[in-house]
């Protein structure tokens, strides 16, 4: 009787100690409160990314909203849309058996279905306040990624940075993919993402074509983080056509799913 009770206590302690984003087997359920009440619970649909770890970073946040566009007379904040898509991507990856670390977090905003995502300054770097100065912000998130990278034993570890560009209102752009100078793994991942997006556009918008490009960029977060990384610019937040890619929830979900498909192609 005493042995059974002790075994139960040890099992409960082990389960309690397991992180929320630990890798799970197909058919198992997981829970991530960051996704919001309605979507916090998810079921692992496949193990296509089992053994892979991801560090997902939504651009800007906290005191910095990033680029700002105007839609129907209301502001669109880059950090809010990047964060919503990061959460959707995190959920997609977890449902494929991956381990995921969401670096920039907002404990209140889960995955949202509205067109206009209200701005806030609540975002943190995994619980720590985000500094006002840009250099300190970048150093903070790079340091957190490197810390998690050192602790992680996975063989396939990737950092994904999501941003939204700001150009003249007349400039329509597709998604752009950047990798660090000299990073073969980063270029391969970026190329696989581009191939995936090209195929998706051919299927869903035949005749339109996809003009997004892959290139090396000397960006701080790519240059100063240990895992192979890619940096995505999802469109021009000031352009009316590109705004549809952001404000429509189905489009945000499609972006997340396509990015996950491209990552899966690279992993395979």
Give residue-wise pLDDT tens across range 181-197. Answer: 999 999 999 999 999 99
pLDDT for residue 6 is more than 50: no
3-state secondary structure of 210: coil
Which helix (H) or strand (E) segment is 151 a member of? helix 134-151
What pLDDT is attached to residue 8? 45
pTM reported for the whole predicted model: 0.91
CA–CA distance from 220 to each of 123, 140, 141, 225 (Å)? 20, 11, 11, 8
Closest CA to 172 of 213, 211, 230, 214: 211
pLDDT for residue 12 is more than 90: no
Domain locations in the chain as residue ranges: 24-267
24-267 maps to which CATH number? 3.40.630.40
pLDDT digits (tens, 9 = 90+) for 34-77: 999 999 999 999 999 999 999 999 999 999 999 999 999 999 99
Cβ pair 267, 260 in contact under 8 A? no
């Amino acid at each position: 009787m005493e042995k059974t009770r002790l075994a139960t206590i040890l099992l409960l302690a082990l389960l309690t100690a397991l992180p929320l984003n630990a890798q799970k087997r197909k058919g198992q359920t997981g829970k991530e409160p960051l996704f919001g009440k309605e979507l916090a619970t998810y079921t692992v649909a496949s193990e296509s990314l089992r053994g892979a770890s991801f560090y997902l970073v939504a651009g800007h946040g906290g005191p910095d909203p990033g680029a700002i566009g105007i839609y129907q007379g209301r502001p669109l904040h880059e950090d809010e849309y990047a964060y919503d898509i990061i959460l959707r991507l995190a959920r997609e990856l977890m449902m494929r058996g991956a381990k995921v670390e969401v670096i920039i977090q907002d404990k209140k905003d889960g995955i949202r279905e509205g067109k206009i995502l209200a701005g806030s300054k609540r975002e943190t770097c995994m619980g720590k306040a985000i500094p006002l100065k840009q250099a300190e912000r970048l150093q903070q998130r790079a340091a957190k990624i490197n810390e998690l990278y050192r602790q992680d034993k996975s063989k396939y570890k990737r950092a994904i940075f999501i941003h939204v560009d700001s150009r003249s209102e007349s400039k329509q752009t597709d998604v752009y993919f950047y990798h660090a100078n000299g990073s073969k793994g980063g270029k391969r991942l970026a190329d696989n993402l581009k191939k995936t997006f090209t195929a998706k556009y051919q299927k869903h918008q035949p005749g339109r074509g996809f003009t997004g490009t892959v290139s090396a960029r000397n960006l701080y977060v790519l240059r100063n983080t240990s895992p192979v990384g890619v940096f995505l610019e999802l469109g021009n937040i000031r352009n009316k056509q590109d705004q549809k890619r952001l404000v429509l929830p189905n489009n945000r979900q499609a972006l997340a799913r396509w990015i996950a498909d491209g990552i899966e192609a690279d992993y395979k």
